[in-house]
Structure 1
């Protein structure tokens, strides 16, 4: 439906509002008033933020933009600080009012772009800028991301370790909303609160092969509680390699090694004997150690008992913090492929263990099936994150459906309107 603009817009040149608030003139391509750029909407809206450069907004107070009664309506509002952080907000169905629903950052510079329509349907635009005051409390929340920068397998979760406990759900939502994970190619994912001080992030499925994953915190200057504000945190970047999946069938005594969906090796193995059965489920490689001295006393076996051991072990690939490895076990070669005789580890010949060691990396997937052992713990003993189904994983997020608020990262504030 075509609308005839008000008289003030029916001219061949129209006043443009730039990010600095200065006016410049520009002509439409053919003099048609419908091709004119949006007019200055300053007279149509009111704003509760500070108007003078010497004033600073209180970050505790929400933003509000209101359309003047009978003058038109607001069609869109985008609020963003100088670091690129968006402010989530809600626009009334009739376009009469927009207000922020997420907290502002303290000591930050904000740009608010307001799009409008007058009662005749003519588009308007106003860009507002303001600064917020410094936080009242000096207490800051720090976040340390893991793992270390580098290349990992497609099963590697991202971790966020907080230096203070966050128990309140609303405060958790503020923290989680500010922890951003971006991957190329992009895949859906979500945070899970493992404890009051630790979060894990994983995609719905494994990471894509040869992906780049970047993690950063937008918490700096964000109010979490009356006595706690977000602090600065170091960003993290990791990449993924090929998709390596290892499946150990404890009943068949065979380990099968897959690379990008193709089986490339099968190795006879032995797993945990009765009473020491290997855990079932998906584990993620934690680290590789060329040499480990393994003692039964470290897993609760009394020294001198029939099950006691103290052995030098080579080519050891660790999958749990409690001591489960895939490693060389030359003493059990006769049982490999036929019987389970270990204390929970997956043992193989030295040559096979060396090959495995050379072709596996931290973050790769090691899955055990058909064992009589307990299921792998989701948390606390390594990365059992993939044993939690996606629906349940989403319930571990403090945000609704695990989805951050606000515009998508690509929705940038356009400070200079373009001709139509």
Structure 2
């Protein structure tokens, strides 16, 4: 049995039910029901090569208990592990557009993605609807329907320790993260006016002139996210196949860079183009602003803040950065490996911490077979 085992059961005519799980030494294992009531999940990965006993007790309308127990032994420690990591860190504050980015050290096989997705839990306070989207076999993102509400608290559990990924690969460990969302801080860049409008909580706080990509290297239009911030970086055209000593080559130390795409588009200070900012586009695709504006902006933004660029000659390529907001909600949900619930009540179907309660009915309690295995959804 994988160490990602869950306890699944069904009842009839039960007023309430309860699951207890103990290891070979009789030590209790903490856990909780999924919010949809489909199974009970341990709060942490089970141990390898260990015998467990699960008991499910159901109480009927007459107060009488019906119980079933099952014992199982978890598998030996496997040889093929895949790392699991998140771009979010504990006690960090992010922008309202921040997706939950999860990376796997090996590709999750197509026929295992639904089962893996069911073990990725995001809880938000206040509750906001959201969904997972697979960009490829080794990267899956989670975003809410709308931007996160300012001040949201996030609790994330990637319950992947011992979970089969396919091809003899298993998740190396569980990952937990607690983070929060800051103010709604949005930058909107308009090529028609060559200006950036900066808003905080929907109020304009600053406007500034910009210079975007010249016709031979246009900036991308679309919905982007600040992914990386550094006080300075070396920008080197040779990393994109353009020799430094060529007509269009360069190697420049750039101040206050904020990365928007993996292809190399940034917002950054460009004192050499101040005379062009607000008038014409002369960059290699980045958003050029003055040294003073770049300094101010860099000290206001967070990773995850949205950047919206409008009216340039090219659109944003899907996957060139955290492009989660560049598709409608209807299109985004198609990237999930799971069917959408008819009435979603929260970010994901995570453990609720509450017992499984049902309406009291007449008749004897029936308790169906107890299963100790990951539940696969197809």
Same structural fold, with TM-score higher than 0.5 when normalized by the shorter chain: yes
178, 188, 193: which one aligns with 2:119: 178
Distance 1:232 1:393 in 2: 28
300, 308, 316: which one aligns with 1:376: 316
22, 34, 58: which one aligns with 1:114: 58
Q: Which residue of 2 aligns with 1:288?
A: 229
Q: 1:161 to 1:111 in 2, by over 3 A?
A: farther
In structure 2, the gaps of 5 or more residues are: 22-28, 358-378
241, 258, 266: which one aligns with 1:300: 241
Distance 2:3 2:189 in 1: 58
190, 212, 233: which one aligns with 1:249: 190
Q: Which residue of 1 aligns with 2:74?
A: 134
Shift of 1:226: 9.2
Q: Deviations over 1:151-207 (max 9, x none)?
A: 1111111122223322233x2111111111111111111111111122111111111
Q: 1:228 to 1:132 in 2, by over 3 A?
A: farther
Secondary structure (helix, strand or coil) at the match of 1:400 reads: coil
100, 108, 116: which one aligns with 1:158: 100
In structure 1, the gaps of 5 or more residues are: 1-55, 68-72, 91-98, 415-420
Q: Contact 1:59 / 1:133 at 8 angstroms: preserved in 2? A: no
- TM-score relative to the length of structure 2: 0.77
Q: Which residue of 1 aligns with 2:367?
A: none
Q: 1:286 to 1:110 in 2, by over 3 A?
A: same
Query: Highest Rg: 1 or 2?
Result: 1
What's the C-alpha RMSD, in Å, of the aligned pairs?
A: 3.6
Q: Say which structure, 1 or 2, has more relative contact order (CA 8 Å, 6+ apart).
A: 2
| Larger displacement relative to structure 2 (103-112 or 209-218) | 103-112
Q: Which residue of 1 aligns with 2:337?
A: 398
Distance 2:286 2:211 in 1: 8
Distance 1:226 1:329 in 2: 49
Q: Deviations over 1:399-418 (max 9, x none)?
A: 1117799786143358xxxx
Shift of 1:134: 1.4
Q: Which residue of 2 aligns with 1:86?
A: 33
Q: Deviations over 1:361-406 (max 9, x none)?
A: 2111111001112x22332x32111112211211111111177997
Distance 2:6 2:353 in 1: 27
Q: Contact 1:280 / 1:369 at 8 angstroms: preserved in 2? A: yes
Q: 1:263 to 1:407 in 2, by over 3 A?
A: closer
Q: Contact 2:234 / 2:253 at 8 angstroms: preserved in 1? A: yes
124, 129, 138: which one aligns with 1:188: 129
Q: Deviations over 1:295-345 (max 9, x none)?
A: 332333343433222323212222122221111111111111111111111
Q: Which residue of 2 aligns with 1:168?
A: 110
Q: Which residue of 2 aligns with 1:277?
A: 218
Shift of 1:138: 1.9
Q: Contact 1:86 / 1:406 at 8 angstroms: preserved in 2? A: no
Shift of 1:227: 4.6
Q: Contact 1:142 / 1:233 at 8 angstroms: preserved in 2? A: no
Q: Which residue of 2 aligns with 1:6?
A: none
Q: 1:234 to 1:129 in 2, by over 3 A?
A: same
Secondary structure (helix, strand or coil) at the match of 2:280 reads: coil
Q: Contact 1:289 / 1:316 at 8 angstroms: preserved in 2? A: yes
Does the alignment pair 1:262 with 2:203?
yes
Shift of 1:141: 4.7
Q: Deviations over 1:106-132 (max 9, x none)?
A: 855534232445xxxx45443555443
5 Å-filtered alignment, 1:231-246, equals: 231-246=172-187
Secondary structure (helix, strand or coil) at the match of 1:391 reads: helix
Secondary structure (helix, strand or coil) at the match of 1:247 reads: strand
Q: 1:78 to 1:191 in 2, by over 3 A?
A: farther
Q: 1:142 to 1:289 in 2, by over 3 A?
A: closer
Shift of 1:250: 1.2
Q: Contact 2:132 / 2:141 at 8 angstroms: preserved in 1? A: yes
Distance 2:167 2:18 in 1: 27
Q: Which residue of 2 aligns with 1:22?
A: none
